[in-house]
Structure 1
Amino acid sequence: MIETGDLQAALPASLARAGGGLAIGLLIGIGFGLLTGLSRRAEEAFDSTFQIVRLIPFISLVPLFIIWFGIGEEPKVLLIALACVFPAYLNTYSGVRNVDRRLIEAARTFGLSPVQITLQVLLPAALPAVLVGVRFAMGVSLLALIIAEQTNSRAGIGYLIFVASGALRIDLIVACVLVYAVLGIAIDLVMRLVEKLLLPWR
């Protein structure tokens, strides 16, 4: 596959799908996680909805996404985004809510405003949990990518698997599975590096 250029052509397509869905999922998940973690009213308004949707297996939504959005790139990216929302949301929400209240009381004692407490105390203290959510979401994006690329793909690693399965090329299927595994390892290494840069004290 490397010699024919098939793998080099498939990787950008797969990474673009996974990256686009991950970015959308993280934006929504972290955004609403911060909102519901910081505001009781926002929690009452949004948390129950997130919890209900979280319990729906995203795999079961593939037929609906195809009907609603067609067979192009949109349903694939949106499926990945949906899968990535909840790890980011849950960890961000938990991180904000589990900040030691003594830190907040100390910040108030030093005269910090609510905005300063949020930016200088709550968010830095919740950052480890947020990064755990990002790391988990990156892994889930790869899982969702595998599922998304099995539906009407014309490019990507999943398309190579589809073609190889039609030709009964077990060797190519195994090679593509190994490529997915390598991508997973690369994602984990990248997140470990990000955590070291953002959390040097750990």
Structure 2
Amino acid sequence: MTDVLAPPQAALQAALQAPVTVAPRRRRLGLGRPIPYGRVLGPLLILGVWLAASAAGLLDPRVLPAPWTVADTVSRLVEAGTLQDSLAVSLGRAALGFTFGALAGVSLALAAGLSRLGEALVDGWLQVQRAVPTLGLIPLMILWLGIGEAFKVVIIALVVAVTLYVQTYAGLTSIDSRYVELAETVGLSRSRFIRAVVLPGALPGLFVGLRLAVTSSWISLVVLEQINATSGIGYLMFQAQNYAQTDVIVVGLIVYGLFGFISDAALRFVERRVLSWRRTLSS
């Protein structure tokens, strides 16, 4: 009987005795897969802590009423029609101010970002305006426009315009110069260069500006609706302060928070669709 193994058996034994080289596992440095509805977890956690603290008697109802008390207040305001009317007024003011401000901010950014003459005429005074707190212009606007709806819409529009201008202008002027050289090499016209390179490259900055501008418009609205207003969520909160109705004030704060959360989520959704070609850490 021979001690020599058959060729297949010898090959198998050699393979088993050979050292096994394990490729090093690549570390994943990104954020990982997005958590479905992950941004809702934070507010839900706060709500859970609020519920638990109220049920345990750790919160003074005069300082912060329980969630069920706030829910009863919402139901009462809805039945009376007060909450719906206030919501409609506040949304109308915010929508008008945001629309006018967005149009002005983007137009000025295009003028300054696409032309040296426009930059010289526009950027300087807008940077000065950015350094002046827009809400500090309220007394002057009241003198000019009165205490009606006009001054509220104008203040919101100014806040939105300045915020959106800064981000959009930065996006327009931060295009990599290599793209400019490439466009010149292939002989693109200026109009086609703007359409194909500059404007798509500025879209990320535009969406950042839109999100900041939406938040700024709600913040401005909170302040403006408590100054000589006769309607709106802020007016509802101001009246509740006079009668020590903490639950109504909390309802107003929740409404403002929902405004900001929903509008930001809507802009994120649009941004993902429009910038689907862009791969980022959050993608």
TM class by shorter chain equals over 0.9
**Which consecutive segments of 4 or more residues in structure 1 shift more than 3 A?**
none
- One of 162, 171, 191 as aligned partner of 2:247: 171
* 2:229 equivalent in structure 1: 153
Q: Confirm or deny that 1:123 pairs with 2:199.
A: yes
Q: Confirm or deny that 1:162 pairs with 2:162.
A: no
Q: Confirm or deny that 1:191 pairs with 2:267.
A: yes
* 1:84 equivalent in structure 2: 160
* AA partner of residue 11 (structure 1): L
* AA partner of residue 72 (structure 1): G
CA distance in 1, matches of 2:247, 2:85: 19
Q: How many residues align?
A: 202
Q: Confirm or deny that 1:42 pairs with 2:142.
A: no
CA distance in 1, matches of 2:227, 2:189: 51
CA distance in 2, matches of 1:27, 1:20: 11
CA RMSD of aligned residues (A): 1.0
State the shift of 1:111 in Å. 2.0
SS in 2 for 1:150: coil
Unmatched runs of 5 consecutive residues or more in structure 2: 1-76, 279-283
Q: Which has the larger radius of gyration?
A: 2
TM-score after normalising by structure 1: 0.96
Identity, % of aligned positions? 42
SS in 1 for 2:79: coil
SS in 2 for 1:172: helix
* 1:104 equivalent in structure 2: 180
* AA partner of residue 62 (structure 1): I
TM-score after normalising by structure 2: 0.70
CA distance in 1, matches of 2:229, 2:163: 26
State the shift of 1:3 in Å. 2.1
Q: RCO (CA 8 Å, sep 6+): is it higher in 1 or 2?
A: 1
Q: Which has the higher helix share?
A: 1
CA distance in 1, matches of 2:172, 2:112: 9
* AA partner of residue 175 (structure 1): V
State the shift of 1:175 in Å. 1.1
Unmatched runs of 5 consecutive residues or more in structure 1: none
After superposition, give the CA deviation of every residue in 1:103-131 in whole Å (9 maximum; x if it has no partner).
Answer: 12222222211011011110011111111
